[in-house]
Amino acid sequence: MSKLFVVATPIGNLQDITLRALEIFNGVDWIAAEDTRVTKKLLSRFKIDKPIISCHKHSDRRSIVRIISLLRAGKNVAFVTDAGTPGISDPGQYLIKSVVGAGFATGIVSIPGPSALSAAISISDVDCSEFLFLGFPPHKKGRKKFFARVVKNKTPVIIFESPHRIQKTLIELNEAAGNRYCNVGRELTKIHEEVFRGALVDACRWVTESGPRGEFVIIVAADS
């Protein structure tokens, strides 16, 4: 049976690519990518030349149908997102659900590797033996309800945020959660990696002073 390989890719440092991921890229017939431009740069870095299909959250049904058609034709396909492990705050689940529905459930193979979520947990001084992951906060509608979940939860809460909204999110977190202890990771695995550890109000100041650059992972400690 043909296979869909769900492949994790580096979140910043390209040296984090796994040997198995490179082996899969070299062995498959096609690669389905959230952003073909990003994936082409990655493949070029490792001198891999494969045909690429665009598959992202704004893709129409034809992209999914094409991938399923390739699987039915006996082709092997690797699926990657912009960075990290597919299925975590990205459109991967829709593709997986469609492939399962088409009868290829046993042909879906995980190729694990980098993840911003696990990277942040591994260097956190917050006990994350249990945690709630909420992904990215809503851009507009539903933000108050979103942050209320952070306040009510009895375990640490982990969220992602972009540089464009990090200041607003930290301010709203502080207002909702009452200045809890947090870790804020920025540019994880990259040259300018930083991790802030302290109160939410001080995290707001840190981002304001250093500038909202890079992608962020926020770990908010449970109320003590």
Per-residue pLDDT at 58: 59
Same domain, 44 and 110: yes
Q: What percent of the chain has pLDDT over 70?
A: 97
Beta bridge partners of 194: 186
CATH number at residue 170: 3.30.950.10
Mean pLDDT of each 10-residue bin along the chain, 224 residues long: 95 96 98 93 97 78 89 96 83 84 94 96 97 94 94 96 95 92 96 95 93 90 86
Same domain, 17 and 65: yes
Same domain, 67 and 129: no
One-letter amino acid at 60 equals: D
Per-residue pLDDT at 178: 84
pTM of the predicted structure, to 2 decimals: 0.90
Within the chain, strands assigned E span: 4-7, 30-33, 52-54, 77-80, 108-111, 132-135, 157-161, 181-186, 194-199, 216-220
Same domain, 95 and 190: no
Query: Given its phi and psi angles, is residue 221 left (phi above 0), alpha (psi -120 to 50 degrees) or beta?
Result: beta
Both tokens of residue 85?
Answer: 């492990």
Domain that holds residue 210: 117-220
| DSSP helix/strand/coil, 222 | coil
Q: Which one, of 50, 4, 3, 42, lies nearest residue 26 by Cα?
A: 50
Per-residue pLDDT at 89: 62
Same domain, 136 and 51: no
Per-residue pLDDT at 57: 67
pLDDT digits (tens, 9 = 90+) for 33-87: 988 999 999 999 999 999 999 887 656 678 889 999 999 999 999 999 989 999 8
How many domains is the chain partitioned into structurally?
A: 2
Same domain, 48 and 144: no
